[in-house]
Chain A
């Protein structure tokens, strides 16, 4: 236990670097919204959002390097159930016109 006690904290510079990365991501996604990429507009916007969310979960919420594996399992299960909610609902609504 004791060797895990001071595990999660990174340096101040590291957190600021992640913050700058998130701001760059925001600027990129706003810039991309003004370019007409057809069906790729939503894909790129949601891809950037997912990268940003992953950075926040891993480094700001300290899931990467958490001492308790159970916490990691709970986090993954949360997103897993969200994925079930979205995929099954959209699998229904997206295919209703296929007759």
Chain B
């Protein structure tokens, strides 16, 4: 172990972002990253509970869930998946720009990420509007009629069971959209701070950790998309 006083003076000279209770910048970064991952694990369990509920109810009311799923727009879902993947790439490039100390490039990537996040939310908004128009929003105005399979055969659907599908659809995509809104806010603040020069190649942990959050939100959508939109096309 070093003499504490000399190390403090040394580090203050080297890196103003280093807090006094960490031995060096790498340890501080590892601690922040570990804390972020612990938070992400709680997020995985939070969404995991909803995924579990979805799977259990899908097994119990298979026909209604398939009929409900077939009402969703596969193209809007696919577009949003692509938008989120591109935004994950811009986030990872933002972290790389921060690491290299390229301030303007970093701000550029952060702004593009926020714009892509807003694109996702806009498409989601159009999807939600369609649900309102078709009376597929759970509540007193909910309506759902029987559907037809590929051969034109009528499949009877219990509207109450279909309502369960749309409840889970709105809760899961709604919680995901809330995370997207928070992420957009987070990256907007980071873009302003990055513009002011808060981040250096020696300290850009907030960019990295916000990036971890954004990638997790992306992963949740990577599972939501097939589960809600794709797996019940043929049933």
Contacts and interface: CB of A to CB of B under 8 A. Distances in A.
Contacts of A71: 30, 33-34, 37
A74 B222 contact: no
B74 A30 contact: yes
A23 B81 CA distance: 8
A70 B30 CA distance: 9
Q: B interface, by DSSP: helix, strand, loop or mixed?
A: helix
B85 A15 contact: no
Interface in A8-64: 9, 12, 15-16, 18-19, 22-23, 26, 29-30, 32-34, 36-38, 41-42, 45-46, 48-49, 52-53, 56-57, 60-61
Contact of A9 (B41, B52, B99, B211): B99
Interface in B204-219: 211-212, 215-216, 218-219
Interface residues of B, number: 51
Given A12-B93, A33-B233, A1 B24 contact: yes
Interface residues of A, number: 52
B121 interface: no
Contact of A67 (B30, B60, B74, B85): B30
A93 B26 CA distance: 47
